[in-house]
Amino acid sequence: MVTFGTATAAPGEKDTGRLEVGETRDGSTFGLPVAVVNGVDDGRTLYIQAASDGDELNGVGVIQRTLPQLDPTELSGTILVCGVVNYHAFQVAEHRNPVDDTKMNRAYPGDKTGTSSERIAAATFNAAISADYVLDLHQGSTSQMIDEVRVRCGTRHRLHEECLELAKVFGCGYILDQKGPDGQLARAAPDEGVPTIDPELGGCVGWDEDSIQRGVDGVFNVLRYYGFLDGHHDARPQTRATGFEQYGSPVGGLIDLKPDLGDRVSRGETLFEVTDVFGEPKAEITADSSGVFWRARRLPQVATGEYVCSVGTNIDTY
Ligand SMILES: [Zn+2]
C-alpha cells in the first residue's frame, strides 16, 4: 500500500484524498488535495505538485488533465500528486499565502511547527524527498512568458547533471539553468538528493491551453523516459539560458514591447518604448546583452522603476 495523506492505493490502484496541514481561522481542519497512483509493477517514485504560488493555475490544469489518463495497471512505480500546495492563496486567487504574506517557494524545506507557509512547505517537502524525481509546476505568475523549465540547484551542485537531464526530458524547448533563491523546492530537494525541476508553463490570468498541453506532454515524457510507462522518449536539444536580465522602466507611461516572446534579441536592440498618455515618446530601452526575449509584463502602464521584461542570456543548446 502507498499512502499520501488520506489517499491510499494498493498496487494497480489510484486514490485521492487530503493531506491535512492545520486549521483555518474558523477552526475547520483543512487539507491539500492529494492523489496516489500506485503502479502494478515496482519502480521509482515521481512527486508532482502545483499551485505553490496560488495564482499559478496552469499546473493545476496539467494535473487535472494528466490524472484521468494514468492507468495504474500500466504503471511501474508510484506517482504522488499534490494538486494545490498554496491552499490559502488559491482560495483567494493570489500569489502569496494571505495568512502570513509569504511566497511559498521561498519557504522550503519548511518547518512543521512554523508559520502557515512553513507548515505547508514541510508537509509537501516530506512527500518530495520520499520520491526519486520532483516536478514543481509553476508559471510566470500573471506575466506573459515562454514555456520553460528552471534548474535551480546551481551548476556546481552535485545533482546538477541529474536536474538538467530531467529538464531536458520534460522538454518545453527552453531551460533556465541558474541557481535560484533560498527556499525554493527546486533548491531544497536536490540538497536531499532528489533531482527536481521547476517547469514554468507560460503565464496568463486563468488557464492557457497551449502551456497546459506542453506540461501534460512533459509529464508523459518523464514517465516514459524514466521507465514508469512503456514506450520511449528521446530527449531533444533545448535552448538553455544561464543568465537572466530584467528590465524596468526609467519613466512612467505606457510601454510598447518590440520583440515577441521567444524572439532572439541582439545587444543594443530596442526592447520597448515608453510614451506618455498623449502619445509623446519618453524613453527607448535597449538590450544590454544578446539573448531570448523571455518574459514581459501583461499590462502596458508602468511607473518609474516598474518591471517591464526579461531577457534570457548566455544562450547555448543543451
Ligand atoms: Zn511560481
Instruction: Please tell me the distance between residue 52's alpha carbon and the centre of ligand 1 in angstroms.
Output: 6
Q: Once rounded to an integer, what is the mean pLDDT over residues 209-219?
A: 97
CA distance 202 to 311: 15
Half-sphere exposure of 70 (CA within 13 A, CB side): 33
- Local structure of 174: helix, strand or coil: strand
Interval 77-129: pLDDT, tens: 999 999 999 999 999 999 999 999 999 999 999 999 999 999 999 999 999 99
Closest residue by Cα to residue 311 from 275, 258, 265: 265
The whole-number pLDDT of residue 258 equals: 98
Instruction: Please tell me the distance between residue 241's alpha carbon and the centre of ligand 1 in angstroms.
Output: 18
The whole-number pLDDT of residue 204 equals: 85
Instruction: Please tell me the distance between residue 105's alpha carbon and the centre of ligand 1 in angstroms.
Output: 7
Span between the terminal Cα atoms of the chain, in Å: 39
- Local structure of 17: helix, strand or coil: strand
Q: Would you say the pTM of this structure is higher than 0.95?
A: yes
The whole-number pLDDT of residue 26 equals: 96
Which residues pair with residue 198 across a beta bridge?
Answer: 150
Enumerate residues with CB within 5 Å of ligand 1 (an ion).
53, 56, 138
In the chain the domains, ranked by start, together with CATH numbers, are: 2-226 (3.40.630.10), 242-317 (2.40.50.100)
Instruction: Please tell me the distance between residue 140's alpha carbon and the centre of ligand 1 in angstroms.
Output: 6
Instruction: Please tell me the distance between residue 298's alpha carbon and the centre of ligand 1 in angstroms.
Output: 16
The whole-number pLDDT of residue 205 equals: 85
C-alpha 296: how far from chain center: 17
Instruction: Please tell me the distance between residue 59's alpha carbon and the centre of ligand 1 in angstroms.
Output: 10
DSSP 68: G
